[in-house]
């Protein structure tokens, strides 16, 4: 569940569609958490797993910030936990590596974070493999690579799980920087045995980000296509593989997807993946994978629906996706209910079986749809 915590980030990364270039403002965390605790108790729950809405959880620790704004919120959480002793509360948030390291120079902040119940933080690692890419993204984080190592080390020493959130494949990338990205993600996963991978092919222009208004984008063939065929907006989700809208150049598209699948497969092999890739809406003449990438994709998909992977080909991927979307839509439109015996082995779908009217969600959540549509994720994890 989301815990409204804060919004706003003083940075302005070019691909980010969140509330950028704004001071962080806080919600009434105490009131939101108290309500969540009371509801949990009323429904007999014993654990609450909460994802804080902050864009960069420790931003107040950076120059110009007021760390007491954050520690005050953490103290409220600790106090509320004491008032609800029957509830186990796990918390999770996103952060930049530099702000995490700045905050954790204070043992008091670290102790409050642990006492409040945080068990993992997702770090924006985008661009860390190349200073040129970092600068093109306007991350203002030239030392990101070493900052990540410092942060991950501190996380593991304190029993916290670090997540590698990596957006890659912006137009300034080259085959070399993509290869370096693959190497860095592999190195982080191998060096930090509790770390987990969340990788996303870049979507350079999305409504709300700085690039959306850049000269040359509005009126471009891809922009016009989005307006003419609104289904193409599905291709802007960060979990979606590179596609005709996000990567017009076929060579770059195939290369970005090669690394996306390869890194995801590596993380799957280690059992430490927390992101899922979805197949985009694509035209038959605009492939999204070559044969070697499809081999890796089949291996990933076989974890979820082996029966659907054997006859997947580069050519039939888009067709398979379209078929699945049609099924979802027609079942949603007809109000057809989920067969209560479907996916009985998937404990995660239990809540959806109890709400059969959510046909679209049920099907998107069902493992048999993941290889084609992928498990739905929040669009763009930021920081
Ligand atoms: S990606 Fe993160 S650091 Fe960059 S603007 Fe968005 S929220 Fe801020």
From ligand 1's centre to the CA of 86, what distance in Å?
A: 36
- Residue 176 covered by a domain: no
| Beta carbon of 167 within 6 Å of any ligand 1 atom | no
- Residue 257 covered by a domain: no
- Residue 145 covered by a domain: yes
From ligand 1's centre to the CA of 28, what distance in Å?
A: 22
CA dihedral sign of residues 202, 203, 209, 215: positive
Residue nearest to atom 4 of ligand 1 (CA): 13
From ligand 1's centre to the CA of 206, what distance in Å?
A: 14
Number of C-beta neighbours around residue 61 at 10 A? 24
Q: Residue 353: its pLDDT value, please?
A: 33
From ligand 1's centre to the CA of 32, what distance in Å?
A: 24
**Domain boundaries, position 73:** 1-168+184-201
Q: Residue 327: its pLDDT value, please?
A: 56
Structural domain count, the chain: 1
- Residue 290 covered by a domain: no
Q: For residue 9, which atom of ligand 1 is closest to its CA? A: 8
Residue nearest to atom 2 of ligand 1 (CA): 383
- Side-chain-side CA neighbours of 201 within 13 Å: the count stands at 30
Which pTM does this prediction carry? 0.85
Residue nearest to atom 7 of ligand 1 (CA): 383
From ligand 1's centre to the CA of 135, what distance in Å?
A: 13
CATH of the domain at 5: 3.20.20.70
Q: Residue 307: its pLDDT value, please?
A: 86
Q: Residue 334: its pLDDT value, please?
A: 57
From ligand 1's centre to the CA of 96, what distance in Å?
A: 8
Q: Residue 340: its pLDDT value, please?
A: 34
Q: For residue 10, which atom of ligand 1 is closest to its CA? A: 8
From ligand 1's centre to the CA of 16, what distance in Å?
A: 6
- Residue 25 covered by a domain: yes
Number of C-beta neighbours around residue 285 at 10 A? 8
Contact 139, 11 (CB under 8 A): yes
| Pocket mutation for ligand 1, best pick of 10, 53, 56, 97 (most atoms within 8 Å of C-beta) | 56
Q: Which two tokens stand for residue 79?
A: 């106090």
Q: Which two tokens stand for residue 43?
A: 């429904």
Q: Residue 370: its pLDDT value, please?
A: 39
- Residue 116 covered by a domain: yes
| Beta carbon of 97 within 6 Å of any ligand 1 atom | no
CA 357 – CA 360 distance, rounded (Å):
8
- Residue 75 covered by a domain: yes
- Residue 214 covered by a domain: no
CA 187 – CA 181 distance, rounded (Å):
10
* Mean pLDDT in consecutive groups of 10 residues from the start of the chain, 383 residues: 97 94 97 97 96 98 98 98 96 98 98 98 97 97 98 98 97 98 98 98 95 92 95 94 96 98 97 93 90 95 88 87 60 48 37 29 34 38 48
| Beta carbon of 8 within 6 Å of any ligand 1 atom | no
Q: Residue 285: its pLDDT value, please?
A: 86
């Amino acid at each position: 569940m989301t815990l409204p915590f804060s919004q706003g980030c003083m940075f302005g990364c070019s691909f980010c569609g969140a509330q950028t270039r704004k001071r962080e403002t806080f919600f009434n965390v105490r009131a939101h958490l108290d309500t969540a605790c009371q509801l949990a108790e009323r429904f007999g729950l014993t654990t609450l797993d909460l994802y804080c809405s902050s864009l960069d959880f420790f931003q107040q620790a950076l120059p110009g910030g007021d760390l007491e704004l954050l520690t005050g919120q953490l103290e409220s959480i600790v106090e509320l936990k004491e008032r609800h002793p029957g509830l186990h509360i796990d918390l999770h948030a996103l952060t930049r590596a530099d702000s995490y390291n700045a905050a954790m120079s204070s043992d008091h902040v670290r102790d409050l974070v642990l006492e409040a119940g945080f068990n993992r933080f997702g770090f924006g690692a985008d661009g860390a493999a190349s200073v040129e890419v970092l600068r093109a993204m306007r991350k203002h984080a030239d030392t990101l690579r070493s900052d990540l190592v410092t942060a991950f080390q501190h996380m593991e020493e304190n029993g916290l799980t670090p997540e590698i959130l990596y957006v890659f494949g912006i137009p300034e990338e080259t085959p070399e920087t993509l290869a370096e990205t693959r190497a860095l993600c592999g190195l982080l996963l191998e060096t930090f045995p509790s770390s987990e991978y969340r990788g996303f092919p870049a979507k350079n222009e999305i409504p709300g980000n700085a690039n959306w208004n850049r000269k040359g984008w509005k009126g471009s063939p891809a922009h016009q296509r989005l307006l003419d065929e609104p289904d193409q907006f599905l291709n802007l989700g960060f979990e979606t593989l590179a596609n005709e809208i996000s990567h017009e150049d076929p060579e770059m598209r195939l290369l970005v997807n090669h690394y996306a699948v390869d890194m995801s497969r590596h993380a799957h092999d280690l059992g430490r993946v927390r992101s899922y890739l979805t197949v985009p809406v694509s035209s038959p003449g605009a492939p999204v994978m070559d044969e070697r990438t499809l081999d890796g994709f089949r291996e990933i998909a076989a974890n979820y629906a082996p029966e659907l992977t054997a006859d997947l080909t580069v050519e039939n991927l888009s067709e398979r996706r379209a078929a699945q979307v049609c099924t979802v839509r027609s079942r949603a439109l007809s109000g057809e209910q989920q067969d209560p015996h479907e996916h009985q082995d998937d404990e995660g779908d239990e809540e959806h079986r109890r709400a059969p009217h959510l046909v679209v969600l049920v099907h998107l959540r069902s493992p048999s749809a993941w290889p084609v549509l992928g498990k739905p994720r929040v669009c763009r994890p930021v920081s």
